[in-house]
Amino acid sequence: MEDDRISVLETQLSQARLIAEESDKKYEEMARRIAMLEADLERAEERATTGEGKIVELEEELRVVGNNLKSLEVSEEKAQQREEAYEQQIRISTAKLKEAMQKEETYEMSIRQQSQRLQEAEARAEFAERSVQKLQKEVDRLEDDLLGEREKTHLLQEEVETTLKDLQSM
């Protein structure tokens, strides 16, 4: 029963480790995506600055640059929304990682406690086995003594019967 429980705990520990590894991978992927988004955002901001300079120079290009700027603002807003979503995902992954690590610590402590209890139970079982062996030796000795006493009693009974017969025949 304790073996089953240890097996379950080991399985849960393995699952917790897998969750932690998956969280780490997700975190690294989100960090990479954020870096890419920041680079995209930086390029978008550079284009917006260039567009604003052309607005001053060319009135006709104002409309084109204005449209481009609106497009870039939409892209930036989407990028910010994605960045916020990634940050939220990172926070969730970090919380899951912390939870998995806490579970791992709990499982490890439980395994140590169960191992200690197992060792104590094995020591008690070993002591009980030695006690049983000692008691069995004592029982064997007493049975041997009992057989010896029964033999003596039987011999004495025969002697008494023989004596009684001798007395009766007189």
For residue 153, is it within any domain?
no
CATH of the domain at 27: 1.10.287.620
For residue 126, is it within any domain?
no
- pLDDT averaged per 10 residues, the chain (length 170): 85 89 91 91 86 65 75 92 93 93 92 92 91 92 93 93 87
Phi and psi angles of residue 58, each rounded to the nearest 5 degrees, phi first: -125, 120
Q: What domain count does the chain have?
A: 1
This prediction has a pTM of: 0.37
Q: For residue 32, what pLDDT is reported?
A: 92
For residue 90, is it within any domain?
yes
Nearest to 41 by CA among 81, 12, 90: 81
Q: How many CA atoms lie less than 13 Å away from 48 in the CB half-sphere?
A: 14
For residue 159, is it within any domain?
no
Alpha-carbon span 26 to 85, nearest angstrom: 13
C-alpha 59, offset from chain centre: 68
Residue length, the chain?
170
Give 135's contacts (C-beta < 8 A, 6+ positions apart): none
For residue 96, is it within any domain?
yes
For residue 110, is it within any domain?
yes
Alpha-carbon span 38 to 71, nearest angstrom: 17
Structural domain range at position 66: 2-120
For residue 138, is it within any domain?
no
Q: For residue 98, what pLDDT is reported?
A: 95
